[in-house]
Amino acid sequence: MLGNDKGQNLVEFALIIPLLLMLAIGIAEFGRAWMTQNILTGAAREAVRMYAVKNDIGAATARATNILSSANLDNTLWNITPILPGADGSLGYRVDYKFPLAIAGFIPGLSGTEIPLSSTTTMRKEWDI
């Protein structure tokens, strides 16, 4: 043995723990963002389905609003936009959300405190004009 290596494990742990914490927090944030994206997709899908069947934009928008509200998403951060029927008979809904990062400023290289998420769903209308 060349020298005293007391405390070596502590130094190695101190060097590695920030990387492990950033990895764990990054995984958690990615999971939250993925779940929110799935909620947006579900809201857009439900809204466009109601619009395609019933031709009622108000009820379709209310349905998307109910889904987003029941998921406890901040209503100041999302926007619901109907896509009016086109020449091919397709219509749709777009749901945009500014996903707030819980760890804003903690991870280096991450600019801003929100990540824009969006989901667009289109269907063919089932009603005649």
The reported pTM is: 0.83
Residue 112 in this model has a pLDDT that exceeds 80: no
Does residue 54 have a pLDDT over 80?
A: yes
Q: Residues for the chain: how many in total?
A: 129
Q: How many CB atoms lie within 10 A of CB 76?
A: 7
Tokens 């769903």 correspond to: 121
> Per residue in 1-42, pLDDT tens?
566 777 888 899 999 999 998 889 889 999 999 999 999 999
Q: Which residues contact 107 (CB under 8 A, 6 or more apart)?
A: 22, 25, 26
Q: Where are the alpha helices (DSSP H) in the chain?
A: 8-54, 57-70
pLDDT digits (tens, 9 = 90+) for 55-82: 899 999 999 999 999 999 999 999 999 9
Dist CA 36 CA 62 (whole Å): 19
